[in-house]
Amino acid sequence: MKTTKTEVKYVEWLNAEDMHEASKKWLSELSFVKDEQHFFEDLIKSYTLQLLDSQNFPKSKEIVESLNKLQKKNYTLIKMIKNHENKLQIMVDGIDQLKEEKTYKNKHRALILDVSKFLREYRKLKTQLFDIIKVVMKKEKQKHLLR
């Protein structure tokens, strides 16, 4: 039996107002992620010595590298969305430009997938970071109690 690969499409009608609202929401979420990433950098700096511990180092290194990659991806996504938002004029200018409008909608659909994927990856990384920091903090607390 052969399986065929199907492509998922966003079938809801995309009007200019909905795309504008979606873009604003994405920019808001990505801006928050950017601020949160600065917090994570400070958190990692606060626990650098503990994270360099031989037990934690491989996982810590992986998390820090992933955080750096996601920071770059976040910056890229913000630029892409701002650029996309600036081109919204194509949809609302009252001129029928079917090819350009279709291209704009396809780009919007691609952004839907990209932003969703990014946010899933980011949440996963955030959970991993909090898990390792939680372990480090418990060890620190135990050391202080034993003194």
Q: Which two tokens stand for residue 3?
A: 């399986």
**Residue 139 burial (CB < 10 Å; 0-12/13-18/19+)?**
middle
Q: Which two tokens stand for residue 121?
A: 């990856």
Q: What is the full per-residue pLDDT of the chain (147 aa) written as tens digits?
A: 566 655 555 445 678 889 999 999 999 999 999 999 999 999 988 888 888 876 778 888 899 899 999 999 999 999 999 999 998 888 777 777 888 888 999 999 999 999 999 999 999 999 999 998 898 888 888 777 766
pLDDT of residue 141: 80
C-beta contacts of 45-49 below 8 A and 24+ residues apart: 47/133, 47/136, 47/137
Which residues, other chains included, contact 56 with Cβ-Cβ below 8 Å and sequence gap of 6+?
50, 132, 135, 136
